[in-house]
């Protein structure tokens, strides 16, 4: 049983050999980018026109290739400069010492985007480790964000009390929303996938209700906007408001969550129970671990983290909740599923995966602004990456790797119902 719980330590070489999950993840990233390039090339009018020209003469071929590479290259260059750093601006700042805020904005945006993503993905990852699938993280984050915004905007007190209370409100909101599927799963056997999916839609409806009804709607507003949080409740920008960099003290919250998750999963007996339940439910039951209490606790933790992510998102960026908060197909909770899978449900893995996906998301915005290629491409690339990460054997076959990569993610999810 201890074998199942503690993976054997591997040498540095083994970690970077072809069998390693890191290599598989890198190759999956590559495949995702190739897929994205194919999509850009096949849907861009300029590229298609250039290819149409080769029906008239073969001389158009170099031109067509050129246009294709230019367009795809521009898109990916924009993703990079929009999320990491613009080399020209960086050089300018380095030589003249000016314009640092501008140069650092992409990195700051990526960190701002990654902060809640790390938190919610760790919540999803903890559930995965216990063999449970929390698809409702998005709804839990929405409820957490709403409750946090309510406390942050409708109660007034000094920062030292207000900020912790706001964050706590988010956790409680998410826990409440996570407890329901957990309890239903534990006591009625309702499959958590269906229940959490349905709860997502319930919470979206509740969000619209909340931001459009009197106590919480921004006074004097007809639109779906909630009240703005007090200055004492927000997570302030790390470098002051004047710098214009949005990266906030929220990253310390995320860091604390990472440490908590490491402790929970690797050092605490509770985390051990979780992992044993996820790896082998029969063994867990035989050794006296209560399946019910594991399910409920996992959903409390997972939901609480999702709620914390929701409130961190509000408190560090907009400071108010609106009708479009976290909603959508590519909502934070769904990205979190892919992040957790890419990070193999390990806290540090999730941090790297979040940074990568945050970079794709933030860079995608830049790409949309400058080339007009829709931001949704980033989500498509993310999904492709995860499809490949979930099927390492396929990656191995494509690249003809010699060693068999370690198996993909295994969950103890089976059919519905009982």
Q: Interaction with other proteins in 328-357: which residues (CB under 8 A)?
A: 328-330, 334, 337-338, 341
Rounded Cα gap, residues 149 and 315, in angstroms: 8
Q: Are 354 and 339 in contact (CB under 8 A)?
A: yes
The only residue of 186, 306, 362, 367 in contact with other proteins, by rule CB under 8 A: 186
User: Quick one: which of 239, 241, 244, 217 has its CA closest to 228?
Assistant: 217
User: Quick one: which of 210, 145, 208 has its CA closest to 174?
Assistant: 145
Count of CB atoms situated within 10 Å of the CB of 16: 13
Rounded Cα gap, residues 370 and 300, in angstroms: 42
Phi, psi of 118 (to 5 degrees): -60, -45
Q: Are 50 and 60 in contact (CB under 8 A)?
A: yes
Token digits of residue 154: 């409708």
DSSP letter at 407?
A: P
Cβ closest to other proteins, residue 104 vs residue 321: 321
Question: Going by C-beta distance under 8 Å and a sequence separation of 6 or more, which residues neighbour residue 73?
Answer: none
Token digits of residue 222: 């007809």
Token digits of residue 360: 């794709």
The only residue of 66, 70, 88, 213 in contact with other proteins, by rule CB under 8 A: 213
Say whether residue 27 binds other proteins (CB under 8 A): no
> By CB under 8 A, which span of 12-20, 71-79, 97-105, 277-285 interacts with other proteins?
277-285
Say whether residue 43 binds other proteins (CB under 8 A): yes
CB of 390 to other proteins, least distance (A): 5
Say whether residue 263 binds other proteins (CB under 8 A): no
Rounded Cα gap, residues 163 and 143, in angstroms: 17
> By CB under 8 A, which span of 49-57, 65-73, 355-363, 374-382 interacts with other proteins?
374-382
CB of 7 to other proteins, least distance (A): 17
User: Quick one: which of 309, 302, 262 has its CA closest to 167?
Assistant: 309
Please list every residue from 285 through 324 that binds other proteins, using CB under 8 A.
285, 291-292, 295
Say whether residue 374 binds other proteins (CB under 8 A): yes
Say whether residue 12 binds other proteins (CB under 8 A): no
CB of 94 to other proteins, least distance (A): 36
CB of 168 to other proteins, least distance (A): 26
Instruction: Look at residue 248 and give its three-state secondary structure.
Output: strand
HSE at residue 278, side-chain half, CA atoms within 13 A, is 23
Q: Are 161 and 297 in contact (CB under 8 A)?
A: no
Say whether residue 135 binds other proteins (CB under 8 A): yes
Cβ closest to other proteins, residue 213 vs residue 268: 213
Say whether residue 133 binds other proteins (CB under 8 A): yes
The only residue of 27, 29, 41, 44 in contact with other proteins, by rule CB under 8 A: 44
CB of 207 to other proteins, least distance (A): 8
What mask, x for binding other proteins by CB under 8 A, covers residues 378 to 407? -xx--xx-xx--xx-xx-------------
Say whether residue 76 binds other proteins (CB under 8 A): no
Rounded Cα gap, residues 391 and 12, in angstroms: 24
Cβ closest to other proteins, residue 135 vs residue 245: 135
Cβ closest to other proteins, residue 190 vs residue 258: 190
CB of 33 to other proteins, least distance (A): 15
- Binding-site size for other proteins (CB under 8 A) equals 71
């Amino acid at each position: 049983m201890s074998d199942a719980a503690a993976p054997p330590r591997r040498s540095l070489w083994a970690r970077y050999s072809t069998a390693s999950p890191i290599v598989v993840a890198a190759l999956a990233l590559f495949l995702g980018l190739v897929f994205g390039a194919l999509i850009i090339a096949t849907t861009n009018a300029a590229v298609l026109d250039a290819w149409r020209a080769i029906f008239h003469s073969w001389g158009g071929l170099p031109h067509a290739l050129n246009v294709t590479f230019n367009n795809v290259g521009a898109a990916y260059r924009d993703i990079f400069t929009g999320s990491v750093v613009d080399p020209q601006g960086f050089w300018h700042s380095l030589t003249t010492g000016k314009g640092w805020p501008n140069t650092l904005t992409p990195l700051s945006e990526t960190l701002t985007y990654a902060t809640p993503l790390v938190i919610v993905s760790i919540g999803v990852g903890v559930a995965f480790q216990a063999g449970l699938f929390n698809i409702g993280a998005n709804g839990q984050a929405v409820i957490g964000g709403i409750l946090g915004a309510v406390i942050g905007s409708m109660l007034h007190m000094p920062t030292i009390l207000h900020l912790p209370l706001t964050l706590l409100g988010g956790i409680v909101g998410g826990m409440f929303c996570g407890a329901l599927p957990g309890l239903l799963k534990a006591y009625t056997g309702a499959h958590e996938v269906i229940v959490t999916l349905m709860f997502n839609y319930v919470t979206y409806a509740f969000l619209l209700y909340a931001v459009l009804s009197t106590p919480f709607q921004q006074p004097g507003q007809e639109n779906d906007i909630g009240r703005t949080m007090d200055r004492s409740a927000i997570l302030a920008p790390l470098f002051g408001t004047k710098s214009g960099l949005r990266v906030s003290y929220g990253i310390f919250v995320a860091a604390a969550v990472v440490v908590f998750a490491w402790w929970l999963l690797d050092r605490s007996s509770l985390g051990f129970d979780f992992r044993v339940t996820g790896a082998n439910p029969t063994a867990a039951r035989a050794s006296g671990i209560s399946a019910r209490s594991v399910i409920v606790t996992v959903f409390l933790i997972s939901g609480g983290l999702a709620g914390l992510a929701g409130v961190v998102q509000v408190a560090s960026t907009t400071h108010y909740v609106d009708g479009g908060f976290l909603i959508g197909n590519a909502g934070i909770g769904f990205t979190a599923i892919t992040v957790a899978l890419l990070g193999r449900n390990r806290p540090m893995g999730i941090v790297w995966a979040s940074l990568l996906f945050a970079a794709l998301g933030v860079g995608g915005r830049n790409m949309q602004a400058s080339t007009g290629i829709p931001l949704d491409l980033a989500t498509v690339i993310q999904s492709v990456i995860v499809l490949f990460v979930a099927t390492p054997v396929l990656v191995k076959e494509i690249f003809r790797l010699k060693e068999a990569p370690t198996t993909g993610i295994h969950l103890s999810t089976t059919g519905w119902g009982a």
